[in-house]
Structure 1
Amino acid sequence: MNALRIIRASRCPDLPWKNGGGTTREIAVFPPGAGMEDFLWRLSMANVERPGPFSHFDGVDRVLAVLEGTLHLTGPALDAALDPGSDPLAFAADQPVDGAPIGGPVRDLNAMVRRSAFTVRMVRLQAGERAECPDAVNYFLALEAQQLAGEALAAFDCAQVSGALTCEGAALLVSFVAIRA
């Protein structure tokens, strides 16, 4: 594995949503310092505390994985209950989607891209699994405490990675790929 940059979950500020239904922790955004209206890609963790609509983003695609709890998503051609064992779910962020936590609060990982500029891929990795990080911007989110390239990661810590890696525990790998004109 090449360069490794650690992003500790505990150091990402927990900010309330505008609708009061939860909070979000921004892990990374491009370009750096971009806001909700001008990002090209964004990676964040959210706590969903009560049912409500997802924010609408014109021209944006989203991939979501549940880290804790169960989240029921509904919308046009969408009716899915996601839990920590579910595959990440991709959907358009410019379509109406409602989310409802089932049985208590939910924590999720959310990756969003402007579909004119980037694509995003999110996959679950198991202990001992080897992954090749594509020619992209890649983030490894530890789902449990583990070592990655000699660095200790707590659950929900993230590392920006490149090259090949082997994980010691469950994780999610998120890859943002630029669309070439």
Structure 2
Amino acid sequence: MIRFLPASARATVPWKNGGGVTREIAARPEGSGMDDFAWRVSLAEVGADGPFSAFPDVDRTLTVVEGAGMDLTVGGERRLVNTRYVPRDFRGDVPTDCRLLDGPVVNLNVMWRRGAGATAPTVAVVRGRLRVCAGALVVALDGVAEVAGLTLGPYDAVQLGDEEAVLHARGRTAVIGLSLPVDAPLA
């Protein structure tokens, strides 16, 4: 079953520390919270310098999709994240501080819990025509994309069911390969 996840239907949730807001695209299990997801994909608007929330036993892939970027300190190590559309991996349970380079940013966040019965997701930002694997989550970022007979505008998403599909990405589009336990339903 293919799920269309329109950007217009997402709720805006403020961060605990007041430094931004998040809009969840999809998570498993469905309806899970921040303490019990197996994986979660969201768009986060970072509006101020400050610490990232800690997520025990969680790994993250962060991709800047709007703005100049961030200067992160992850576990005491500096990581300059100043190129859009380049996925960056880091542990969610390591103290992370953020300094914005030139105003607010929007990040695509892919988070997964270690030991949740699935392997780490793959994250790629693509353009062009390619075959996308079953179960993948496709998120249009800066243009139009077509997949599984649906046209996606910026930040619209589609989660594929148990069949592959061809993606025509006219703008940059995130393709997130999600490895799910064998008995996990997609919808």
After TM superposition, where is structure 1 displaced by more than 4 Å over at least 4 residues in a row?
none
Q: Which has the higher strand share?
A: 1
User: Number of residues paired by the alignment?
Assistant: 174
Residue 84 (structure 1) shift: 1.7
Which residue is equivalent to 2:131?
131
1:9 and 2:10 are equivalent in the alignment: no
Summarize the alignment of residues 101-120 of structure 1 with structure 2, pairs less than 5 Å apart.
Answer: 101-117=100-116, 118=118, 119-120=120-121
Task: Assess, with a 3 A threshold, how the Cα gap between structure 1 residues 142 and 72 changes in structure 2: closer, same or farther.
Answer: same
Task: Assess, with a 3 A threshold, how the Cα gap between structure 1 residues 167 and 101 changes in structure 2: closer, same or farther.
Answer: farther
1:174 and 2:172 are equivalent in the alignment: no
In the alignment, residue 178 of structure 2 is paired with which amino acid? F
Residue 97 (structure 1) shift: 1.1
On the 8 A contact 2:60/2:111 being kept in 1, the answer is: yes
Which residue is equivalent to 2:49?
51
C-alpha distance in 1, partners of 2:114/2:78?
A: 19
Q: Secondary structure at the match of 2:8?
A: helix
C-alpha distance in 2, partners of 1:16/1:35?
A: 14
Structure 1 gaps, min length 5? none
Residue 103 (structure 1) shift: 1.1
Q: Secondary structure at the match of 1:113?
A: strand
Which residue is equivalent to 2:39?
41
On the 8 A contact 2:146/2:167 being kept in 1, the answer is: no
Q: Secondary structure at the match of 2:32?
A: coil
Give the share of equivalent positions with the same residue, in percent. 37
What do the CA deviations read for 1:140-168 (whole angstroms, capped 9, x no partner)?
01021233233221111111024142323
